[in-house]
């Protein structure tokens, strides 16, 4: 470790150090060629990936990994902010000031005189404030919509749930979950018709409609569809790996078994792994 790098590691103001490191990496004369050529668009996929890795560390309960992944995610904020600074748009301090102002404005019961006593009241207040912010941000050529601000880059199931929740706040919602179940039955019939037609474009469209209705049904039952599907994926993974282990314990590779034999193993594993 050189004297210069040691100065970064040993300082107490690590956030300032990180900002300075990114400035050095992006320096057009002495920086890193890869970092210099990055743009908002090229870095965005890494930002999304790092957010998922934070969620993965939380899911695993690995606090050391969580610390490291939060660092990677924070680096993305600093990186994007440095790109903006290099282009004369804003810098990391502007980012911090903007979120400070927003948090103070959204918590008048903490930083002002408003009275909000329950978490539900705070949620309603928060949504009302965000609605005003969305209206203020609306582009002049586009009238404001209740669906404004739901990020396109969200996982599709999560985005569906958020879009449907926003629509429900306007009154556009099924009165009961049973009504959505009827709609799901209807969409499944339309999917079967599309499959029978053999037209892939129609199949894709009807499958999307089915998934949207499923997301709506999950919302109506208070279930986060992304979380539910993640848990189902974990359960399937555990059961499938259990089948592979059972097959190997009997001297076989799983993919060499017939479908009937594989199904028998599935039932065995399912009875053990509820």
Confidence at residue 244, expressed as pLDDT on a 0 to 100 scale: 96
pLDDT of residue 37: 97
What confidence category does residue 2 fall into, taking pLDDT thresholds of 50, 70 and 90?
low
pLDDT at 70: 97
User: Which CATH fold would you assign to the domain 3-106?
Assistant: Helix Hairpins (1.10.287)
What is the DSSP annotation of 203-220? Answer: HHHHHHHHHHHHHHHHHH
At residue 107, the pLDDT reads: 87
Question: Does the pLDDT of residue 12 top 80, yes or no?
Answer: no
Please write the tens of the pLDDT for every residue from 144-194.
Answer: 788 888 888 888 999 999 999 999 989 999 999 999 999 999 999 999 999
pLDDT of residue 105: 86
Q: Answer yes or no: is pLDDT of 142 > 80.
A: no
Question: Is the distance from CB of 84 to CB of 70 less than 8 angstroms?
Answer: no
Segments making up each domain of the chain, as ranges: 3-106, 228-272
Q: What is the pLDDT of residues 72-98, one digit of tens each?
A: 999 999 999 999 999 999 999 999 999
More confident residue, 135 or 238: 238
Q: What is the pTM of this model?
A: 0.64
Q: What is the pLDDT of residue 114?
A: 80
CA angle 126, 127, 132 (to 5 degrees): 100
201-220 burial, b at 16+ Cβ within 10 Å, e below that, comes to ebbeebeebbebbbbbbbbb
Give the residue carrying structure tokens 């210069």: 4
């Amino acid at each position: 470790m050189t004297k210069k790098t040691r100065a970064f590691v040993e300082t107490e103001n690590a956030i300032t150090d990180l900002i300075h490191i990114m400035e050095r990496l992006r320096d057009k004369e002495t920086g890193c060629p890869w970092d210099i050529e990055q743009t908002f668009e090229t870095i965005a996929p890494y930002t999304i990936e790092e957010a998922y890795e934070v969620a993965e560390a939380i899911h695993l309960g690995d606090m050391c990994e969580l610390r490291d992944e939060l660092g990677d995610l924070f680096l993305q904020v600093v990186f994007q902010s440095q790109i903006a600074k290099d282009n004369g748009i804003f810098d990391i301090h502007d980012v911090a000031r903007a979120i400070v102002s927003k948090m103070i404005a959204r918590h008048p019961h903490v930083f002002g005189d408003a009275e909000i006593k329950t978490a539900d009241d705070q949620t309603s207040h928060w949504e009302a404030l965000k609605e005003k912010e969305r209206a203020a941000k609306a582009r002049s050529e586009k009238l404001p919509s209740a669906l404004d601000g739901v990020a396109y880059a969200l996982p599709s199931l999560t985005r569906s749930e958020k879009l449907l929740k926003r629509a429900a706040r306007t009154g556009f919602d099924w009165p009961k979950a049973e009504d959505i179940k009827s709609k799901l039955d209807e969409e499944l019939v339309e999917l079967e018709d599309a499959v029978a037609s053999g037209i892939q474009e129609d199949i894709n469209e009807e499958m999307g409609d089915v998934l949207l209705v499923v997301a709506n049904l999950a919302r109506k039952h208070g279930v986060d569809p992304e979380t539910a599907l993640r848990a189902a994926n974990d359960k399937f993974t555990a059961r499938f790996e259990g089948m592979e282990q059972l097959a190997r314990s009997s001297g076989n590779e799983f993919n060499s078994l017939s479908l009937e034999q594989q199904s028998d193993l599935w039932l065995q594993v399912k009875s053990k792994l509820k």
